[in-house]
């Protein structure tokens, strides 16, 4: 099995199932910046890249895992007295 060289925008999966995307490659510093599906950013030395045993995969259908939010995530708890529609900045234009 040959190890694929990391390239920006490619998705990989480790043997433990961790899914990540290459977001930067700094050849001068010898590092690869990765972003896990949940949004966590990490950095790997290029010399340690083969140790990850990465397998190139297709991007997930829902590749927005780190930014995926339900409407409930925008709504505060009632004790905060947040006005309805606060998650839509344009909703306040008619009220001003």
Q: Is residue 44 part of a domain?
A: yes
Number of domains comprising the chain: 1
Q: Is residue 5 part of a domain?
A: no
> Rounded to the nearest 5°, which phi and psi values hold at 53?
55, 50
pLDDT at 6 over 80: yes
Q: Is residue 2 part of a domain?
A: no
Q: pLDDT tens digits, residue range 17-30?
A: 999 999 999 989 99
Q: Is residue 36 part of a domain?
A: yes
Q: Is residue 81 part of a domain?
A: yes
Contact 46, 30 (CB under 8 A): yes
Query: Which residue range is the domain that position 37 belongs to?
Result: 11-58+69-95
Q: What is the DSSP letter of 11?
A: E
Q: Is residue 64 part of a domain?
A: no
**Helix locations, the chain, DSSP H:** 71-74
- C-alpha distances (whole Å) from 82 to each of 5, 72, 79, 85, 89 are 49, 13, 8, 9, 13
Q: pLDDT tens digits, residue range 53-96?
A: 999 999 888 755 555 445 555 454 445 555 554 555 666 566 55
């Amino acid at each position: 099995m040959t190890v694929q060289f990391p390239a920006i925008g490619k998705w990989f999966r480790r043997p433990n199932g961790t899914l990540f995307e290459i977001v930067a490659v700094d050849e001068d510093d010898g590092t690869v910046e990765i972003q896990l599906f949940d949004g966590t950013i990490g950095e790997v030395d290029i010399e340690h890249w083969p140790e990850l045993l990465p397998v190139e995969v297709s991007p997930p259908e829902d590749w927005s895992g780190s930014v995926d939010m339900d409407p409930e995530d925008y709504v505060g708890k009632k004790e905060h007295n947040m006005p309805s529609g606060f998650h839509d900045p344009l909703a306040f234009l008619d009220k001003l």
